[in-house]
Amino acid sequence: MNVDERITEVPGIGKKSAAELASIGIHTLMDMVLYPPRSYDDRREERFLSDATPDNPSIACRITVISHSQFPSKRSGMTLKATCIDDEGRKLELLCFNRPFMKDMLKLGSSWYITSPAIERSRNGIYSTASFELKRSKEEAGIGKILPVYPLTGSITEKMLRNASAYAISALSPFPDELPFEMYQRLSLLHHNDAYRLIHYPENDSDIINARRTLAFTELLLMELAILRGKGSRKKKQGAESKAEAELVSSLPFSLTQDQVSAAAEIRADLDSGTPMNRLLQGDVGSGKTLVAWIAALHEIQKGNQVAFMAPTELLARQHAEGAAELLSPLGIRIAFLTGNVKGQSRKLLLESLRKGITDLVVGTHALFSEDVSFNRLKLVIIDEQHRFGVQQREALKNKGIDASILSMTATPIPRTLALTLFADLDVSTLQTMPSGRIPVKTYLVSDKKRDDMYQSIAVEFQRGHQAYFVYPRIDDEGESDLRDVTHMHEELKSRYPGVPSALIHSKLPEEEKIRILHDFRAKKIMYLTATSVVEVGIDIPDATCMVIEHADIFGLAALHQLRGRVGRSILPSYCFLVFSSNLSAEAKARLSVMKETNDGFRIAEKDLEIRGPGEMAGDRQSGFLRLRFASLTSDLDLIEQARIEAERIAREDPGLLSIENAHLRIALKEQC
């Protein structure tokens, strides 16, 4: 039978059920085969009523009818109550609402195999159910087997899906191999004919593991092949470093890290390839992404094009604009700064110079894609902290250029395997190594009671001329929460550090105020900031060496890592104090110990993924063909790696997938797109 055969082929599935099945993606018999069980009902061992628990109220066991009684049903008709016992002697009442005629079937002394999804146990120890099926033989009741348990929808029942999967498997088998023949043995995979059968009807636990592994691998291999194919279409040409770029680099007080050099080269090649670039530059906090962005900007500007650089907050945009002015203005680059707060005449002039192409580089916030902003020849859009923007915002800015390239930067590193997968349509450059001379931030977990020691050691840092951040989760103490807030703590800190200049900073302050404070902090007129997480992203103050995070247990790992990244940005030794309260949840404990254990953002992201699952990270970045049925992006990292290696080999040896053994892959790949 054809794999496109409709699901209505299955006896008992009519139009109504077919419509409900369509809503969960099951249109054809093959869709049913590809619908994975969410778990299994293991009926291999003989069970008794006593095995039914509130958590797992389903049961399949043998019972014998011992008595009948009848009483009127609530609405109309009569209800039959048939009392039975199982082989352990426990009692079960079968309630047959409006079906008194069941009495003829349930003869006294007759034995049945009952299956029920919902058995209840009353206080007197008697079990009862109104939802059950009775079979004459063990086999019919599925006893001795492992049965699939599918996710359900609408009025679709487990029984219907089991019927449908059994029917589909027998109608469509034998299933042909989908992978090159040699791969099955080499990678210890099951042939697809077995894998499809066993994923639904396994005979033992290892069948489940092997079938799932085979099907997940197949899916991942196709995905990786699709990724490689997408990349293959881009021409690679090495863009040469220009004189101005060399000048920029030589003006720095340090030399680029090897990763910065390679990332810049990759970007240059993309920008000169003739096809718009779509590249993610990922690197841990402090790895020096911004500089790579300026090199990219310079490269594009020298071709006579415009560049837009977007940051998620005004503070950060301002800092970047100042950085750009320092590095790029001496090279003759014309820079503008645009946020929502630039208004009136100055906005008008600025917009005009953008439109006419007089400005080469504009740095700003999401105000860059306001409707009144237009460009002359925008060819490169750089997005800092890209995870902070929605897809629409990124697209809107990109659409202001014609064939504009995109360089997205993120300090929320994603494990490499996952990055290549989630950002399937992106190229990725990674800054793995930190600039030399950096000393890893030393992290202390400080219990609430030990805070005095912490204040002491920070006082010593102040004496050395180093600066600090104190971060609290709240602005003031509205509401009944007992969390510390910046407003109160600022007063407390002032009395603890008399004579040390400080400032309070949070999101409710006017923008100019925040900018002034940060400016003074950079100039060391201020020695510490009492702050909310407004200081989380991007802020770069080299002499700040202490980061105190209060109520660290309520922050997520990504935020903690970002906050800690505000210190350790120079050759000075730095410290991070995570202050926690006494009753930590297990998850909070796990997060804090990860922070203590490592400074490596990649490890932290991996741990975060473990603790949280990938949903949030994947977010809107899921690309079209990432509808994985069997594979999991969280737990199958090894399998993803293996699939990529195989995909690369196949793409090298048979790029068009023209050989006979790759025919199936070729067809499957065509269908996906």
Among 435, 568, 601, 614, binds ligand ADP (CB under 6 A): 435
Per-residue binding string, Mg ion, 536-555, x by CB under 5 A, is --x-----------------
Helix residue ranges per DSSP H, 187-303: 192-200, 205-232, 243-250, 258-271, 289-301
| 569 belongs to the binding site for ligand ADP (CB under 6 A) | yes
| 601 belongs to the binding site for ligand ADP (CB under 6 A) | no
| 415 belongs to the binding site for Mg ion (CB under 5 A) | no
Given ligand ADP, Mg ion, none, residue 249, with its beta carbon under 5 to 8 Å by kind, binds none
CB 387 within 8 A of CB 375: no
CA-to-CA distance for 617 and 602, rounded, in angstroms? Answer: 13
Report the chain's C-alpha Rg in angstroms: 32
Q: Given the complex with Mg ion, which of 322 and 641 has the nearer CB atom? A: 322
If 0-12 CB within 10 Å is exposed, 13-18 middle and 19+ buried, where does residue 185 land? Answer: exposed
| 285 belongs to the binding site for ligand ADP (CB under 6 A) | yes
| 435 belongs to the binding site for Mg ion (CB under 5 A) | no
Closest CA to 434 of 535, 268, 565, 250: 565
Q: Given the complex with Mg ion, which of 211 and 471 has the nearer CB atom? A: 471
Give the number of residues in contact with ligand ADP, rule: CB under 6 A: 17
| 288 belongs to the binding site for ligand ADP (CB under 6 A) | yes
Q: Given the complex with Mg ion, which of 106 and 409 has the nearer CB atom? A: 409
CB 469 within 8 A of CB 560: no
Q: Which of residues 482-541 bind Mg ion (CB under 5 A)?
A: 538
3-state helix, strand, coil in the chain (%, to 5): 40, 20, 40
| 411 belongs to the binding site for ligand ADP (CB under 6 A) | yes
| 37 belongs to the binding site for Mg ion (CB under 5 A) | no
Given ligand ADP, Mg ion, none, residue 663, with its beta carbon under 5 to 8 Å by kind, binds none
Among 32, 134, 291, 307, binds ligand ADP (CB under 6 A): 291
| Token duo for residue 186 | 């080499």
CB of 287 to Mg ion, least distance (A): 9
CA dihedral 582→585→589→591, nearest 10 degrees, is -130
Place of tokens 């907050």: 313
Given ligand ADP, Mg ion, none, residue 283, with its beta carbon under 5 to 8 Å by kind, binds ligand ADP
Among 540, 600, 641, 661, binds ligand ADP (CB under 6 A): 540
| 257 belongs to the binding site for ligand ADP (CB under 6 A) | yes
If 0-12 CB within 10 Å is exposed, 13-18 middle and 19+ buried, where does residue 171 land? Answer: middle
Residues 6+ apart with CB under 8 A from 457: 575
CA-to-CA distance for 177 and 251, rounded, in angstroms? Answer: 60
Given Mg ion, ligand ADP, none, residue 569, with its beta carbon under 5 to 8 Å by kind, binds ligand ADP
CB of 507 to ligand ADP, least distance (A): 21
| 287 belongs to the binding site for ligand ADP (CB under 6 A) | yes
CA-to-CA distance for 546 and 468, rounded, in angstroms? Answer: 4
CB of 257 to ligand ADP, least distance (A): 5
CA-to-CA distance for 64 and 13, rounded, in angstroms? Answer: 33
> In this structure, what are the phi and psi dihedrals at residue 184, rounded to the nearest 5 degrees?
-60, -50
Footprint on this chain of Mg ion (rule: CB under 5 A): 538
Residues that bind ligand ADP (CB under 6 A): 254, 256-257, 260, 283, 285-291, 411, 435, 540, 542, 569
